[in-house]
């Protein structure tokens, strides 16, 4: 599993304990609105919306907020004009970054992303400069405690359409082609597993970093993800597991 997935898992664990709920809600609401706008308001027929709604429920978002976000996406209620963007950039040690943004002001977002990258020993890149090194994939997560027989579970996942399975993490991560995400998700749910899923960008090649470069990069990632407009950040870095855990404690 690449570094950006490991760091995302660590941040997810810590995020369940911190108090930044309003900021998290804002990001999820925007994801729901965009998903409903692009694929319709029926979560059963819109996998991206279903995934966003599941994320909202997991964050204990009130039902009325979810429904309002969907209606703003479908146009039933008036809402802000949102634009979805993907910025490309570089971090410390030349790490390639893709920054997913949903914003109501493209100029503001561009200025803020450029400033954060520059401040964090990175830079904004031209379109196509780093995106060639990433593949769009579906990512399905299953709690490890629910899997009693790993071999049987892996066979179930492969039969459903899994492309790759990372079993030495918690949750277990299953990579699939984007258009198969819904099929694999439903097949595993039918087998009784709890499922989280999302679309991600996986790097084709990674850069091993450590020490000061690793610390600078993780600080930059935290600052980017703390921005209201940034939904997700993907990178082609790889950091030793033990060092990643130590840095997570150091950076709080």
d(CA 109, CA 123): 14
User: What is the domain class of 83-132+205-251 according to CATH?
Assistant: alpha beta
The per-residue pLDDT for range 14-56, each reduced to its tens digit, is 554 444 666 788 999 999 999 999 999 999 889 899 999 988 9
Task: State residue 126's pLDDT score.
Answer: 94
Q: Give the residues of the chain that fall short of pLDDT 70.
A: 1-22, 252
Number of C-beta neighbours around residue 7 at 10 A: 22
Nearest to 208 by CA among 244, 169, 165, 175: 244
Q: Degrees (nearest 5) of the Cα angle 176, 241, 178? A: 10
Write down the CATH superfamily of domain 3-74: Integrase, N-terminal zinc-binding domain (1.10.10.200)
Domain 134-203 superfamily per CATH: YebC, transcriptional regulation domain (3.30.70.980)
> What are the residue boundaries of the structural domains of the chain, listed by start?
3-74, 83-132+205-251, 134-203
H runs (alpha helix) in 163-210: 181-190
User: Which one-letter DSSP state was computed for residue 209?
Assistant: -
Within 8 A by CB and 6+ apart from 108, the residues are 229
Kindly give, in sequence order, each residue whose CB lies less than 8 Å from that of residue 51, ignoring residues fewer than 6 positions away: 35, 196, 197, 198, 199
Q: What does the alpha-carbon distance between residue 231 and residue 84 come to, in Å, rounded to a whole number?
A: 10
Domains 3-74 and 134-203 share a fold: no
Torsion of CA 217, 29, 113, 251, to 10 degrees: -30
């Amino acid at each position: 599993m690449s570094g950006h997935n490991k760091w995302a898992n660590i941040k997810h664990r810590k995020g369940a304990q911190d108090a930044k709920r309003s900021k998290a809600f804002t990001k999820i609401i925007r994801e729901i609105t965009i998903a409903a706008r692009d694929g319709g308001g029926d979560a059963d027929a819109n996998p991206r919306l279903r995934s966003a709604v599941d994320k909202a429920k997991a964050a204990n978002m009130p039902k009325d907020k979810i429904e309002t976000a969907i209606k703003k996406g479908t146009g039933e209620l008036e809402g802000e004009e949102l634009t979805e963007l993907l910025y490309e950039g570089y971090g410390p040690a030349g790490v390639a970054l893709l920054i997913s943004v949903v914003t109501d002001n493209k100029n503001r977002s561009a200025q803020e992303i450029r400033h954060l990258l520059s401040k964090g020993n990175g830079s904004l890149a031209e379109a196509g400069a780093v995106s060639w090194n990433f593949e769009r994939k579906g990512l399905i997560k299953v709690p490890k405690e629910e899997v009693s027989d790993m071999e049987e579970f892996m066979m179930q996942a492969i039969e459903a359409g899994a492309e790759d399975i990372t079993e030495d993490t918690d949750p277990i991560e299953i990579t699939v082609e984007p258009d198969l995400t819904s099929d694999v998700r439903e097949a595993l749910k039918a087998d009784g597993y709890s499922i989280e899923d999302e679309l991600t960008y996986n790097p084709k090649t990674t850069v091993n970093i450590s020490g000061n470069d690793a610390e600078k990069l993780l600080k930059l990632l935290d600052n980017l993800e703390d921005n209201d407009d940034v939904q997700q950040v993907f990178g082609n870095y790889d950091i030793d597991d033990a060092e990643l855990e130590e840095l997570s404690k150091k950076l709080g």
